[in-house]
Amino acid sequence: FSKKYRCIEVSAVEQGTVGLISLNRPDVLNALSEDLMHDLIDALQGLDASQEIGAIVLTGKGKAFAAGADIKELKDKDIVSIFMSPFPSKWNDIMKIKKPIIAAVNGYALGGGCEVALMCDIILAGEKAVFGQPELKLGTIPGMGGTQRLIREVGKSRAMEMILTGSYFLDAQEACQRGLASRVVAGSNADLINEAISVAGKIAKQSRPAVIIAKAAVNSAYETSLQEGLKQEKALFGATFALADRKEGMSAFIEKREPQFVHK
């Protein structure tokens, strides 16, 4: 991962099995500019395509995960440029990444920053994490999925209060209590990132195709009815029986040894 980016840093950790992406515009609290978005999506797609990488950690440098879309860049846009630009829908490309993405959020995850975290598969919250949707205060609304995804995580009433007041922020504890984040990691930013890398490392040790199938199965619950989702689960469960890794995993259990997955 020698590719150099303008707005992010990318490296491979955990013996090259985990991709670590750090949003790197700390002076503006990692505001999500168009350049940053292009960098981030390019890096995610590169890590997704890599044979070695099994999971991805996404974090922010400095005191924010990301404080939202870059307001200075948005300020002079008009309705035509917003509708014609690939910018708002391009963010949805994060949802096309097949490998799990773990957001390590310490500090502000506001507006688009909260929405990017919501597009990740697991959110680990540092003690200073703050989640919120302040767009109404700018005379606009969440535009990267916040009105749709937040309600599924924290319920309608709380999502409404967060979005309509723009000032009801969730701290790390409350984000966990409400199910937005998986858990709070105590300690410094480095402790949080190490924990996220450790979780990603555990995922990377699993059979990669089985992980990708599991992520797809869980995500189908967002898009479909229970019955349809159960049908998809059944088909995907059956598909794992075509994997060499499934045979190896079950053999290893019976032979009381660690599985040696070949990711096939």
Residues marked active site are found at: 69, 112, 115, 135
Residue with Cβ nearer ligand CO8 (86 or 179): 86
Cα of 260 vs its chain's centroid, Å: 28
> What single string gives the DSSP state of each residue in 190-236?
HHHHHHHHHHHHHHHHS-HHHHHHHHHHHHHHHHS-HHHHHHHHHHH
Nearest approach, Cβ of 133 to ligand CO8 (angstroms)?
A: 8
Give the three-state DSSP class for 36: helix
Residue with Cβ nearer ligand CO8 (146 or 209): 146
From the CB of residue 211, how many other CB atoms can be counted at a distance below 10 Å?
21
Residue with Cβ nearer ligand CO8 (1 or 131): 131
Nearest approach, Cβ of 65 to ligand CO8 (angstroms)?
A: 11
Q: What is d(CA 33, CA 167) in angstroms, rounded to the nearest whole number?
A: 23
DSSP code of residue 151: H
User: Angle 28-120-95 (CA atoms, 0-180°, nearest 5)?
Assistant: 105
Residue with Cβ nearer ligand CO8 (143 or 259): 143
Nearest approach, Cβ of 141 to ligand CO8 (angstroms)?
A: 8
From the CB of residue 86, how many other CB atoms can be counted at a distance below 10 Å?
11
Q: Which residues bind ligand CO8 (CB under 6 A)?
A: 28-29, 31, 67-72, 87-88, 108, 110-112, 134-135, 138, 142-144
Nearest approach, Cβ of 226 to ligand CO8 (angstroms)?
A: 31
